[in-house]
Each structure stands twice: as structure tokens, then as C-alpha cells.
A and B are shown apart, each in its own frame.
Chain A
Amino acid sequence: MGESELRLIQRALNRDMEAWAQIMINYKRAVFGISLGILRNAADAEDTTQEAFIRAYEKLHTYNLKRKFSTWLFTVAANLCKNKLRRAKFSVPLRQARWIADDTDPAQLAAQDERQQTVRRALERLRFDYRAPLVLRFYADLDYKDIAQVLGIPEGTVKTRLHRGKQALKQQLEQEGGREHERQTA
């Protein structure tokens, strides 16, 4: 960890809000990206990003300075996401906002590889256990060790879930591809 980041954290621990603001500036996109990838909904991702920084600040005294700050912060975010997806009975209901796949504007879609839309829909249908490792790897670029730490699972499990998750996506893409082929040759 860079010395300046360590100093920022130490200042934040001393209630220096400016230091925490700087940390947020550094990490907000990453936290948002992870939340968006997992929750599949911009409004909820925004709420979660805010909550993550609030909770991380409240728990900052529990963060072990010897470990990677990003991993610790991402763990806070991932747990919030997991909770939100999990139990309707016990959580504030997710905002009835639109899922990314329905909310992507046509111009943007036109400019992208159309298979990205299939990937979006498939990601929506994946369980948290398979979605989260994919997001952490392919959005946040974490290695297996860090993913394991963020999710609180063994590294071996991370590899298995990444593999099975990708297999499932491939399956969807092939099905979509087949349908697309049929449409074109019909």
C-alpha cells in the first residue's frame, strides 16, 4: 500500500473527513462498478456505494493496516450486495428500478458487440455465488486470492465458480447465437 494511502487512512481514523473524502474519490468508481455488476441496477448500486463508504468509515478501526485496503473495502461492499439480494423478509426492498439490460440506451447498444446484451441478461439470472466472482475478476481485475478474501471462500472454490459461471454464460451465448442464426436464415 502506498505511503500516502496509509497516511490518508490514519487521518481518517482521526476523524479527518477530508482524508476520507479523498479515499472515496480514489475508490468510488471501483465500488460502484462492483455493486453495479452484482446488483444489476444503477439506483441500487448507487445506494450501496454510499452505504459501503459509510459502513467502512464506521468500521475503519477494525481494518488491519497490514492488509490491502482495497480488498477490505470491497469486502464491505460485497457483503452489502449479498444481503440486498438475499432476503426480502429482512431487507429494505430493492428499488423497483430497471435492470441494466432493459436500461441500456439503443445508441449504446448499437455501438457494442450485440453479444454483450446476452451477457447482461445472463448475468442477471446467475446466483450471487457465481455472479460475484465474475464481477470481481472481470470488472475489478482481482486475482483469485483477493476474490477469495473478499467473498470469504477458499481460492479453489473461486476457480470452480469462475469456471462454472463462464460455462453457463457460454451456454447462453451459444443458445442466443443459435436463435440469432435461425432468425437470420428464416
Chain B
Amino acid sequence: MNDKQLDALLRGSLNNDVDAKASALEGIEDRVCRALKTKFERPASAPRSWFAPRLRLSLAFAGTALAMLLVGVLIGGNAGLPWTNGGNRGITFVVALPEASSVAVAGDFNDWQPVALKKGSNGVWSLELDLSPGRYEYAFVIDGVAWKPDPRADEYVKSYGFTNSVKYVGTKGETS
């Protein structure tokens, strides 16, 4: 089989598949517009009542509940959160290390195999990753040898005696 024949086969196969399934596209513009309207109309900081009221609440629990509500208010509106990009589907890793010759990030999202950040002109390193909702532990690897936490992490946890950074992606209600 020569190259041109293979090219034609590929084109044919791919196009036939789309022809066969394209009916799925009917009305997709409406569905998308509706979804976008819902997103933009939802008030950014509407607190959601996540817990069923309980008759016998210990004081401690009531306090926790209030704390949860506050946290919920702060996190529920994802607009303006510095660490999400364009709508709660990713993480931007940013760190100012002008002296470093390389900065990489290793974590749950990449099997802990370090991936390089890009150096900006001002000595600020950054990397944007498209990630699904979840909780991610990670660390920066500086000059290939020093593993350090991220000053801009959501949280810190202990692991193997080291301090790992944690970031969360996504907001409630996206997965069932």
C-alpha cells in the first residue's frame, strides 16, 4: 500500500465516522448557551446549605458548621481565586526564583515525575496545567535537587517526613 492510498483510507475513515455521528450536534449551540447563561447568572458568593439541620447539635459542631459555611462562601464563588485559570479546571503553578537555573513540579498529577516550569523575564517561573477536579499533592524541584513546598499552596501536609504542598481543583456540583 502506498502513502497516497493510506492517506485516502485515513481521510475516508475519519470523515465517514463524523458523517455517521454528526446528528449528535443538533442543537448543541442552544445547550452551550443555556449552560453558559446558568454559569454567569449564578451569584458568585451564594452560600449553599450543604448540611441537613440536626436537632441535637453539640456546641462544637455548631461552631464547625458555621466555619464550614464561611469556608463555603469563600470557596463557592470561584471567580477571582488567584490559583484557578479561566474556570476551575486547572492549576497555574507560579513561583519567584530568579536565582534558579531550573524549576520543575512533581506531584500526584504526573506520577511525581518532574515537569519543567517556564522562566519568565522577571525570574518568575510558571506552568499551567489542565486538570480535573480533585486534590493534588506536589512539590517544586529546584535545580534538579532541592524539593521545596510552594508558598502559594492551598494547604501543606506531611509525607515521608517532608512537607508537601496541596492544591484543589474544581468546585462542588461538577461531578455526581
Contact = CB atoms under 8 A, between A and B. Distances in A.
Direct contact of A and B (CB under 8 A): yes
Interface string A85-118: 0010111100000001000110010001101100
B19 to A, nearest CB: 9
A120 interface: yes
Given A33-B18, A174-B1, A21 B13 contact: no
Interface stretch (A1-9, A24-32, A142-150, A153-161): A24-32
A90 B33 contact: no
A138 B28 contact: no
Contact of A32 (B1, B24, B85): B24
Contact of B28 (A24, A58, A169): A24
Contacts of A79: 130
Interface in B7-47: 7, 9-18, 20-22, 24-25, 28-33, 35-37, 39-40
A127 interface: no
Contacts of A33: 14-15, 18
A139 B20 contact: no
A163 to B, nearest CB: 10
A170 interface: yes
A29 B130 CA distance: 24
Contacts of A135: 14
Contacts of B33: 17, 20-21
Nearest to A105: B20
Interface range, A side: 35 or more
A118 to B, nearest CB: 9
Given A59-B87, A113-B12, A138 B21 contact: no
A170 B6 contact: yes
A74 interface: no
B130 A90 contact: no
Given A42-B21, A49-B28, A90-B131, A138 B175 contact: no
A83 to B, nearest CB: 6
Nearest to A84: B132
Given A36-B21, A46-B28, 16 more contacts: A17-B36, A28-B25, A45-B21, A54-B35, A62-B86, A83-B132, A89-B134, A90-B134, A104-B20, A108-B16, A112-B12, A112-B13, A115-B9, A116-B9, A116-B16, A134-B10
Interface of A: 15, 17, 20-21, 24-25, 28-29, 32-33, 36-37, 42-43, 45-46, 49-50, 53-55, 57-59, 62, 79-80, 82-83, 87, 89-92, 100, 104-105, 108, 112-113, 115-116, 119-120, 123, 134-135, 138-139, 166, 169-170, 173-174
16 contacts: A20-B32, A20-B36, A21-B33, A24-B29, A28-B28, A33-B18, A37-B17, A46-B28, A54-B35, A55-B86, A82-B130, A92-B175, A100-B17, A115-B9, A116-B13, A166-B3
Interface of B: 1, 3, 6-7, 9-18, 20-22, 24-25, 28-33, 35-37, 39-40, 85-87, 89, 108-109, 130-134, 175
